[in-house]
Amino acid sequence: MNDSKNEQQAEQTSSSITSSEKSIKQKKVIKKAKNYPQAQIIHREGSTSLLDVDGPPVSFSGLVNLAMLLLGGMMIRLILENYLKYGILVTLPGFDITNTDLYYAVSSILILCTNLTITFQIEKSSADHAKSVLRERKEAIEQNKEYKDILETVVNYDKIVLIKQFSNLFFSLAIPSVLVYNNIHNPIFGTMVMMSSVIVALKIYSYTVTNLDLRRAYICDDSTLENDILINTKFKNACLVHEKRNDIQVINRDRIDYTIAYPNNIALPNILYFLAAPTLCYQPSYPRSEKPIRWKFVAKRTGELLFALTLTYVSIQQYGFPTLINSMKAIETNNQAWVSERVLKLSVVVSILWLIGFYAFFHSWLNIIAELLGFADRRFYLAWWNSSDLGVYWREWNLPIHNFCKRHIMVPITSPPFNLNFDLGVFVTFFISAVLHELLFGIPTRSLKLYSFWGMLFQLPLIKLTEMVSKSRGPRTNLGNSLFWIFFCIIGQPLLVLRYYYNWVQNNREIGL
């Protein structure tokens, strides 16, 4: 009985399978058809071409892939061409750095350490003076005695402090500049020394003026830092006078609140942390990471940094120097077409080196320092590569410098008591930046022809031009972004590198090196 039942079930199962197979076969045979196929309507409504300005959004990822493949093929061809023409030019680094270069570099670093020590001692003395002034004011108030004008007290002493600190800051730039210009032959090594000098000078300035504000609030017993006496001041006959200002609106978007109050921040560990921190803006306290150091993160960033430095050195030795050497005749003959060809060829190497350098410094190096110090704010850059104009680029590519310029230059000179207009404030900011850029590149190459200085000031009309294009075409326009890349990477930087290298070669010929 059981066997017969099983046989019946098997027959039913097989019959169901065959019927389903037949239905599938029947479905496959079914074909679609239309009435009057050659009379079907194709053009039913108006439409716009995909590539038209008014066309719908369309992805160009396929063309981007093609462009990247073509770029990769061109780079491979350039590598093969360079190898066939020059062979291997890369040597071990450091052999072109002389003992004289090392001696004066170390001397410059020691001088900068001395400048920092002087800065700290001046601020420590100022903090002691502020304590005595506040104590005298409180005693006078308790005894109902008249105390001298608080503005006069603050301003008179701060004048002396600023003279001392700015003199110290000047020497932190001047002495290394003289040593590098006269004694360090290697321009790359000299640039590193000058970069250290500029960074220290900016940190000295930030440390000085931040404590200047904190000291003023401390003497005025303004613990909340919400009632700055300078708000109601202006310059009259070259003197700072107190005057009620009805044309000033105080905007405090974020409350100034530090975990360390003045003058407790004037301590050696505090300034040492600031000197090591990946920022140019001094604060008595910073947001700190509560997590332990991620050593895998540090190792990864260190590997990236070493790879980037190696790639940079190989690119300079194998591709940069041959292109620069072969460009000398073009400049000497003053053949503009030839010079233009050299600039365009050099733009590839310079742009690659610039991108590698950006990643190595702003992402790898600064993140290593931040991780080791527990520095929580890791916004060292924004998406500057999508900049629709040069103004966006300068605000986003280097946030430590942007924050410094905004906090210590732009906002103070457009606020009381200076009250400069916005455009003049922008000019002053770029003027200071132009001077520092000339120190960075003109001093090590012994070429004080003001190339970097005028290059930075020339950014002002270019910013206006690219802003006009961005406003007329929209903030996401590719034209504004293209103008940014053309002015900055394809023409500007290669031309400056070419001019500086030419002058460096000419200077070395004159002194017989």
Tell me how crowded residue 248 is: count the other CB atoms within 10 A of its CB.
13
pLDDT tens digit sequence for 436-489: 999 999 999 888 888 889 989 988 998 888 888 878 876 666 777 787 788 888
Tens digits of residue pLDDT in 78-107: 778 877 877 777 666 655 778 888 999 999
* Rounded distance between C-alpha atoms, residue 369 and residue 11, angstroms: 77
Q: Taking Cα atoms as reference points, which of 359, 389, 402, 349 lies closest to residue 485?
A: 389
User: CB 188: neighbour CB atoms within 10 A?
Assistant: 13
Q: What is the pLDDT of residues 385-436, one digit of tens each?
A: 888 888 888 898 899 999 999 999 998 888 887 888 888 999 999 999 999 9
Q: Judging by DSSP bridges, how do beta strands 233-236 and 239-242 pair with one another?
A: antiparallel
More confident residue, 419 or 171: 171
Asked if residue 392 lies in contact with residue 462, where contact means CB atoms within 8 angstroms, the answer is: no
Torsion of CA 149, 155, 156, 160, to 10 degrees: 160
H/E stretch holding 313: helix 295-315
Q: How far apart are CA 460 and CA 242, in angstroms?
A: 35
Compute CA distances 325 → 80, 177, 266, 318, 452, whole Å: 19, 27, 52, 12, 21
Question: Distance between CA atoms of 205 and 136, rounded to whole angstroms?
Answer: 29
For residue 186, what pLDDT is reported? 86
Residue listed under structure tokens 């100034």 = 256
What's the mean pLDDT in 262-269? 93
**Whether residue 242 lies in the annotated active site:** no
Return d(Cα 122, Cα 168) in angstroms, integer: 10
Q: What is the 3-state secondary structure (H, E, C) of 446-469?
A: CCCCCHHHHHHHCHHHHHHHHHHH
Report the pLDDT value the prediction gives residue 111, as an integer from 0 to 100.
Answer: 94
Structure tokens at 495: 């031309």
Handedness of CA 411, 416, 419, 424 (dihedral sign): negative
Residue listed under structure tokens 């108006």: 46
State the CB neighbour count (10 A cutoff) for residue 233: 18
Contacts of 208 (CB under 8 A, 6+ apart): 119, 123, 161, 162, 165, 166, 169
Residue 39, pLDDT score = 83
Question: What's the pLDDT score for residue 238?
Answer: 63
CA distance linking residue 354 with residue 126, whole number of Å: 42
Average pLDDT of the segment spanning 304-333: 86
Q: Where are the domains of the chain?
A: 97-228+259-286
Q: pLDDT at residue 25 above 70?
A: no
pLDDT tens sequence across 142-158:
666 655 566 677 777 88
What are φ and ψ of residue 300, in 5° steps? -65, -45
pLDDT of residue 58: 78
Question: Residue ranges of the alpha helices (H) in 143-186?
Answer: 150-183
How many Å apart are CA 444 and CA 188, to the nearest integer?
A: 7
Which pair of structure tokens corresponds to residue 6? 């099983």
Give CA–CA dist 343/350, Å, rounded.
10
Q: Which region, left, alpha or beta, applies to residue 474 given φ > 0 means left and ψ of -120 to 50 means alpha?
A: left
- Over range 48-72, report the average pLDDT: 80
Phi, psi for 240 (deg, rounded to 5)? -85, 120
Determine the 3-state secondary structure of 236 from DSSP. strand
Helix axes 459-473, 422-442, angle to 10 degrees: 130
Task: Report pLDDT digits (tens) over 29-47.
Answer: 677 777 887 888 878 888 7
Instruction: Give the pair of three-digit tokens for residue 418.
Output: 């200076």
State the chain's mean pLDDT as an integer.
Answer: 83
Nearest to 400, CA basis, from 173, 111, 195 = 195
pLDDT at 512 exceeding the cut of 50: no
Closest CA to 365 of 314, 311, 403, 308: 308
Residue 245 has pLDDT above 70, yes or no: no
Do the beta carbons of residue 283 and residue 43 sit within 8 Å? no
What DSSP string runs through 201-223?
A: HHHHHHHHHHHHHHHHHHHTT-T
Per the residue annotation, which of 185, 402, 408, 437 is the catalytic one? 437
Contacts of 270 (CB under 8 A, 6+ apart): 260, 284
User: Two tokens at 209?
Assistant: 């003026």
For 406, residues 6+ apart whose C-beta sits below 8 A from its C-beta are none
